[in-house]
Amino acid sequence: MSAVMITRKVRKWEKLPGKNTFCCDGRVMMARQKGVFYLTLFLIVGTCSLFFAFECPYLAVHLSPAIPVFAALLFLFVIAMLLRTSFSDPGVLPRALPEEATFIEMEIEAANGNVPAGQRPPPRIRNVQINNQIVKLKYCYTCKIFRPPRASHCSICDNCVDRFDHHCPWVGNCVGKRNYRYFYMFTLSLSLLTIYIFTFDIVHVVMRSVDNGFLNTLKETPGTVLEVLVCFFTLWSVVGLTGFHTYLISLNQTTNEDIKGSWSGKNRVQNPYSHKNIFKNCCEVLCGPAFPSVLDRRGLMQEDSPASSTSAAPSSSSSSNPMSQTMKTTAPLIPNEHTPDDAKPSIAASAEKSDSPKEEDPPTPQVPPLASPETEADASLAKDKAQ
Ligand SMILES: [Zn+2]
Ligand SMILES: [Zn+2]
């Protein structure tokens, strides 16, 4: 067999190792499980359609034509924010290339020396100083990187996400650094839309009841009852969720940090990201600079495949570490990406056993952070299912 290789160009998203799905040639990026996202979409579109069909014609004539117009604008805004949150890169951090991973391993080993046999090796942690606070960077055994501060590994998407907030099945994506503000605008506008529809449902029923009687009104507009029920249950959950995120934003905190108690409780570490000023915190989270995606998922990379098997088996898009292939150092290597200049990445602890198959215990430290926020926020979001 001659070792002739054929080089072909593929988009980088085809080779990304996480569990995301892509469509539109990499422009749209979501989590793999999307069932609940479709339910969200269905509930919003369904409820609004009923409102436009049953209430709007009557209200436009008897009250004001502005009512359906405003509802339509709000509806479009909600859908736009939902899609923006769901279809974008939440801030996924690329995994280390094999050479980079090897280098980090070596660095850790060199700093830690030999761990006596039978002794539990200390966790892989680096300390950095941020605003005079010591913040721990944890090593991700899956991505082979020291996660930047505030990043966490999402077990559902199987990626480290920068400024990880939580994984939200309702929007079918992680919520992180790059889509948090859209997520917040989504919950806020959905709250308004729900209140709006709920209020005008009641107004509509009352106005019609005066002429036709209550029971006749319900018979004539059967959609109204359904809408009132959906809105009633959605209202509490979505408004509650919006309130919770407003509180987090005012403290410049993530759901993940709130659940882990990163800046409270036993740690006694002050939140180094907070400006100690609600207005400044809100400005930073909601109006701060937009961060570009570091995945470059539509970029081209070369892939070598054996000539004999022509195009037979090349890319199944989910091998373990395909980023490695020929990627030309897409993005800056992560460990230092967010490390402030004054940070002293002294390797605080020593390494765990550093032989190659270290995938075993690693996920453990990472799972709670994301499992919890997810369950939490989505417990709250779960309420918004009512919508
Ligand atoms: Zn990771
Ligand atoms: Zn996720």
pLDDT at 122: 67
Q: Which is nearest to 301 in space by CA: 330, 326, 266?
A: 326
Let me know: does 199 contact 113? Beta carbons within 8 Å: no
Q: Residue 385: pLDDT above 50?
A: no
147 inside domain = yes
Task: State CA 150 to chain mean position distance.
Answer: 13
The ligand placed nearest to the CA atom of residue 374 is: 2
Report pLDDT digits (tens) over 309-355: 444 333 333 333 444 433 333 333 333 333 333 333 333 333 333 33
pLDDT at 115: 67
Cα 326 to middle of ligand 2, angstroms: 26
Which range scores top for mean pLDDT: 104-108, 125-129, 259-263, 279-283?
279-283
pLDDT at 156: 92
Let me know: does 48 contact 75? Beta carbons within 8 Å: yes
Cα 370 to middle of ligand 2, angstroms: 8
Distance CA 62, CA 204 (A): 10
Cα 174 to middle of ligand 2, angstroms: 4
2 φ, ψ (degrees, to nearest 5) = -80, 145
107 inside domain = yes
Three-class SS string for the chain?
A: CCCCEEEEEEEHHHHCCCCEEEECCCCEEEECCCHHHHHHHHHHHHHHHHHHHHHHHHHHHHCCCHHHHHHHHHHHHHHHHHHHHHCCCCCEECCCCHHHHHHHHHHHHHHHCCCCCCCCCCCCEEEEEECCEEEEEEEECCCCEECCCCCEEECCCCEEECCCCEEECCCCEEECCCCHHHHHHHHHHHHHHHHHHHHHHHHHHHHHHHHHCHHHHHHHCHHHHHHHHHHHHHHHHHHHHHHHHHHHHHHCCCHHHHHHCCCCHHHCCCCCCCCCCHHHHHHHHHHCCCCCCCCCCCCEEEEEEECCCCCCCCCCCCCCCHHHCCCCCCCCCHHHCCCCCCCCCCECCCCCCCCCCCCCCCHHHHHHHHHHHHHHHHHHHHHHCCC
Number of folded domains in the chain? 1
Let me know: does 96 contact 322? Beta carbons within 8 Å: no
216 inside domain = yes
Cα 355 to middle of ligand 2, angstroms: 29
Q: Residue 378: pLDDT above 60?
A: no
Share of the chain above pLDDT 70, in %: 74
In which band, very low, low, confident or very high, does the pLDDT at 272 lie, cut at 50, 70 and 90?
confident
Cα 91 to middle of ligand 1, angstroms: 12
Average pLDDT over residues 110-132: 73
Report pLDDT digits (tens) over 150-196: 999 999 999 999 999 999 999 999 999 999 999 999 999 999 999 99
The ligand placed nearest to the CA atom of residue 86 is: 2
2 inside domain = no
The ligand placed nearest to the CA atom of residue 359 is: 1
**Higher-scoring residue by pLDDT: 212, 268:** 212
Cα 21 to middle of ligand 2, angstroms: 11
89 inside domain = yes
The ligand placed nearest to the CA atom of residue 179 is: 2
Distance CA 50, CA 221 (A): 9
Distance from the first to the final alpha carbon of the chain:
61
Distance CA 255, CA 275 (A): 18
Let me know: does 130 contact 272? Beta carbons within 8 Å: yes
Report pLDDT digits (tens) over 12-48: 777 778 888 888 888 888 888 889 999 999 999 999 9
- Of 229-238, 353-362, 371-380, the one with minimum mean pLDDT is 353-362
123 inside domain = yes
Task: State CA 322 to chain mean position distance.
Answer: 23
Cα 193 to middle of ligand 2, angstroms: 27
Query: How does the average pLDDT of the chain come out, rounded?
Result: 77
- Of 7-11, 130-134, 289-293, 311-315, the one with minimum mean pLDDT is 311-315
Cα 189 to middle of ligand 1, angstroms: 32
Q: What is the pTM of this model?
A: 0.74
In which band, very low, low, confident or very high, does the pLDDT at 3 lie, cut at 50, 70 and 90?
low
Distance CA 325, CA 143 (A): 15
Report pLDDT digits (tens) over 84-120: 999 999 999 998 888 888 888 887 777 776 666 677 6
The ligand placed nearest to the CA atom of residue 154 is: 2
- Residues with CB in 5 Å of ion ligand 1: 140, 142-143, 153, 160
Q: Which is nearest to 103 in space by CA: 142, 145, 151?
A: 145
Q: Which is nearest to 184 in space by CA: 235, 234, 238?
A: 238
For residue 106, give its domain range.
7-384
The ligand placed nearest to the CA atom of residue 377 is: 2
Cα 298 to middle of ligand 2, angstroms: 20
Cα 291 to middle of ligand 2, angstroms: 18
pLDDT at 171: 94
pLDDT at 316: 38
Catalytic site positions: 168
Q: Residue 301: pLDDT above 80?
A: no
Cα 381 to middle of ligand 1, angstroms: 24
pLDDT at 360: 33
The ligand placed nearest to the CA atom of residue 153 is: 1
How many Cβ atoms from other residues are within 10 Å of residue 203's Cβ?
16
Report pLDDT digits (tens) over 213-259: 888 888 888 888 889 998 999 899 999 999 999 999 999 999 998 88
Cα 160 to middle of ligand 1, angstroms: 4
**Higher-scoring residue by pLDDT: 265, 61:** 61
Average pLDDT over residues 271-288: 88
1 inside domain = no
